[in-house]
Amino acid sequence: MATLVVVTHGVGNHPADFALAWEKILHAHHPDADFQVAGLWWEDLLEKVAEKFPIVEQEFADAVKSFGFGQLAQLLDSSTYDQVRDFFMDVLVYLAMGEMTDYLQTALALRLKQLLHDQGAAAGETVLIGHSLGAVALPHVVWRERNAIGYIPYRGLILLAPPLGMASPLPAVVKDPLAAMPGVHGMNRPQILTAFAREWAAGALHLLINRHDLICADVRFSTGGAAVDPIPVAQGFSNAELVLLERECGGSVSCFTQGAADPRQVAANHAVTLYLQRPEFDAAFAHLLGVAP
Amino acid sequence: MRWREIRVTVGFVALHLLLALPAAAATALPAVAEIDGYLVRVKGLVDQLPAPPGDDGEIRGYLTGCVERASFLRDLAASPATEQSLLFVELKRFTAFRNTAKDGLGSLTPLGRSLLRAENGEAWPALGHYLMDDYVRGLVIRKALYERKYFEEDDPKQANLLEGWLNSRFDFCRTRDGAQAWYRRDGVSAFEVTVRTEPVVLVTRSTDVAVVLAGGLLYNFLPAVGQDAGDPFRAAVHDDLLSRQVKRVGLRAAAGAVFDGAGPDLLVGAGVQVRAISLWATYQPEETAWSLAVGVSDWRWLKRLRPILPYFGGP
């Protein structure tokens, strides 16, 4: 039976058939491997929560506009607001509201189980791949399953550009992506990482990090003078955390450098297509499929 | 000794049985031979540890703890008098014990990590997979309750980010796994905090319009939810009269501005909400005047009334 590869997208706008682009690249790089790709789409869930809990109530803004105060409504209608909302609201709704974090994890976990059921696939024959916020949600989802049944049943997990190293500047307001793991109350970051890494068989967990990807690494940009990190909070894993991951699940982290450290390259350096075409990904994917890279 | 433990456990889990019965009745459970298989494998792992264990003391403690729990589970499974629901509850307790013990393990030697992986990835799945149906059932129920509480109300698009954040901060409002309370269904709390800007219309003394920032504590009448008999991924929702017709009630407090044609005046009030409608007792300090008012937490309603409201360009 062919291996089922379940792929999960991150922030931004993604159509329901987003997995087709991933599938094309995967099959082009592994033409002889026996696998099928299925998309675990959750854009609609993120959008549903973002609409329910907007920064400003939409109906309130419409009402204000009808009474002659149109600037607020104009701002909410603008493409700038759409862009900000698409990228940051996805993160906010997932991490800032614990109830919605739990709702999204629950709904996504259910979709994953139904996907496997519909595809007739066993979890042990399934490889999970997540990118960006999807690389945060997938560990949460599998951890929820682990809490319920006592182990992670999937063959492997590949996380592309995972923002799991990100440290919230206000953890009481917005959780760390790591701290949003279900059922980790009272555990600190090293304890969570240790427990998570130990759950996987050798060679089953892979985290791919582009050192020039702002989302998962502390990139320093040259702006004429000295190179500076424009974001005051840590996005990447600390050295101690990388050592921990290597100790607990050897070979699980692959760091590489691609793209210029240039603010104009932020999106390109984070693109899933970049990650899917890296030799580090090919090696990890081939290992999980049981074929030569 | 074991039988006494079993009798104690029977009493200890009695409260859980009522909840566990529907799931256990529909779920296969591990046979004695499977539990024996787990025991043999884990005992074999313990035998690989040096004696004394030295730096491997923690993993020894974990593995021997698993052996004790599995032996107890095996005795339960072997007893013809054991109810299936009791076996199911004990399997869940065993799982919780393992998770807590695994998460609490400190640094391990390479041998310790290897033994942990062997127990976790090779031995345990033979027992753990029996909990999969219960896991899916829990997801179905939890999702349906969230949908009802947050997305299937009368005014679903009137909330805001602050409201979502507050509902995740207060313990009595947020979901808690395994928590039992009169106001919870499958861990989901029926209480909800709201903080919204809303239109209010005075109905005594005048028909002036006010806009208020209103906070409220609402109680949602949540339905009973189970798994659909024909589709394990769908919820079967069973509404009663309150959950179907009343949906939510609560107390509210507000402060805002009333527009009486001569400019805005401060207005404060306390109210009772049923579904999306609130009945307010309001007070205008400037005029030392009390009034009754009606509010609907839906701005579309005010927009529809705009043509007939005097302050906003109406007659």
- Binned at pLDDT 50, 70 and 90, residue B301 comes out as low
Q: For residues B100 and B210, state if they share a domain.
A: no
The candidate with the shortest Cα–Cα distance to B95, out of A153, A149, A142, A195, is A149
Q: Do A92 and B161 touch (CB under 8 A)?
A: yes
The whole-chain average pLDDT of chain B stands at 86
Give the pair of three-digit tokens for residue B80: 């013809």
Q: Cα(A76)–Cα(A51) distance, rounded to whole angstroms?
A: 12
Q: What is the pLDDT of residue B230?
A: 93
Provide Rg for chain A, Cα atoms: 20
Q: Do A106 and B139 touch (CB under 8 A)?
A: yes
Q: For residues B240 and B290, state if they share a domain.
A: yes
**What residues of chain B lie within 8 A of the CB of A73, using their CB?**
none
Q: For residues B193 and B253, state if they share a domain.
A: yes
What is the domain extent for residue A248? 3-289
Q: For residues B276 and B168, state if they share a domain.
A: yes
The yes-or-no verdict on residue B3 having pLDDT over 50 is no
Mean pLDDT of B11-15: 41
The yes-or-no verdict on residue A220 having pLDDT over 60 is yes
Q: Give the domain-ending residue among B131, B146, B174.
A: B131
The candidate with the shortest Cα–Cα distance to B167, out of A62, A179, A49, is A49
Q: For residues B22 and B76, state if they share a domain.
A: no
pLDDT tens-digit profile of B175-212? Answer: 998 888 999 999 999 999 999 888 888 888 788 888 89
Q: Give the domain-ending residue among B83, B110, B131.
A: B131
A11-50 CB burial, b ≥16 within 10 A, e <16:
bbebeeebbebbbebbeebbeebebebbbbbbbebbbbbb
Distance from CA of B120 to the nearest CA of A (A): 6
Q: For residues B201 and B118, state if they share a domain.
A: no
- Between B10 and A273, the more confident residue is A273
Q: Do A148 and B159 touch (CB under 8 A)?
A: no
Number of compact structural domains in chain B: 2
Q: Cα(B29)–Cα(B163) distance, rounded to whole angstroms?
A: 43
Q: Cα(A180)–Cα(A143) distance, rounded to whole angstroms?
A: 11
The yes-or-no verdict on residue B246 having pLDDT over 50 is yes
> Contact A265/A214 with Cβ under 8 angstroms?
no
Q: Do B168 and A63 touch (CB under 8 A)?
A: no
Q: Do A113 and B150 touch (CB under 8 A)?
A: no
The candidate with the shortest Cα–Cα distance to B120, out of B41, B191, B173, B193, is B41
The yes-or-no verdict on residue B239 having pLDDT over 80 is yes
Pairing of strands A126-131, A156-160: parallel
Number of compact structural domains in chain A: 1
DSSP state of A238: P
Residue B141 belongs to some domain of the structure: no
**What residues of chain B lie within 8 A of the CB of A186, using their CB?**
none
Share of chain B above pLDDT 90, in %: 62
Q: For residues B15 and B56, state if they share a domain.
A: no
**What residues of chain A lie within 8 A of the CB of B161, using their CB?**
53-55, 92, 96-97
Residue B256 belongs to some domain of the structure: yes
Residue B52 belongs to some domain of the structure: yes
Q: Cα(B93)–Cα(B8) distance, rounded to whole angstroms?
A: 14
The yes-or-no verdict on residue B313 having pLDDT over 50 is no
- Binned at pLDDT 50, 70 and 90, residue A228 comes out as confident
Q: For residues B238 and B112, state if they share a domain.
A: no
Q: For residues B49 and B121, state if they share a domain.
A: yes
- Number of helices (H) and strands (E), helices first, in chain A? 13, 8
**What residues of chain B lie within 8 A of the CB of A198, using their CB?**
102, 105, 108, 113, 116-117, 120
Lowest-confidence region among A30-44, B40-54, B301-315:
B301-315
Q: Which residue of B150, B189, B192, B193 to mutate against A (max A Cβ within 10 Å)?
A: B150
Residue of B nearest to A144 (CA): B135
Residue B138 belongs to some domain of the structure: no
Give the pair of three-digit tokens for residue B29: 């459970």
Helices (H), chain B: 2-12, 14-26, 32-47, 57-78, 84-103, 110-117, 125-128, 132-146, 161-169, 241, 299-305
pLDDT tens-digit profile of B115-161? Answer: 999 999 999 999 999 999 999 999 999 999 999 999 986 665 667 88
Q: Do A53 and B103 touch (CB under 8 A)?
A: no
Q: For residues B212 and B274, state if they share a domain.
A: yes
Helices (H), chain A: 19-29, 43-52, 58-66, 70-77, 79-84, 90-95, 98-119, 134-149, 189-198, 239-248, 266-270, 272-276, 279-289
Residue B148 belongs to some domain of the structure: no
Q: For residues B49 and B170, state if they share a domain.
A: no
**What residues of chain B lie within 8 A of the CB of A106, using their CB?**
139, 142-143, 146
* ipTM for the assembly: 0.90
Q: For residues B216 and B280, state if they share a domain.
A: yes
What is the domain extent for residue B86? 32-131
Lowest-confidence region among A31-45, A53-67, A131-145:
A53-67
3-state DSSP assignment of residue B239: coil
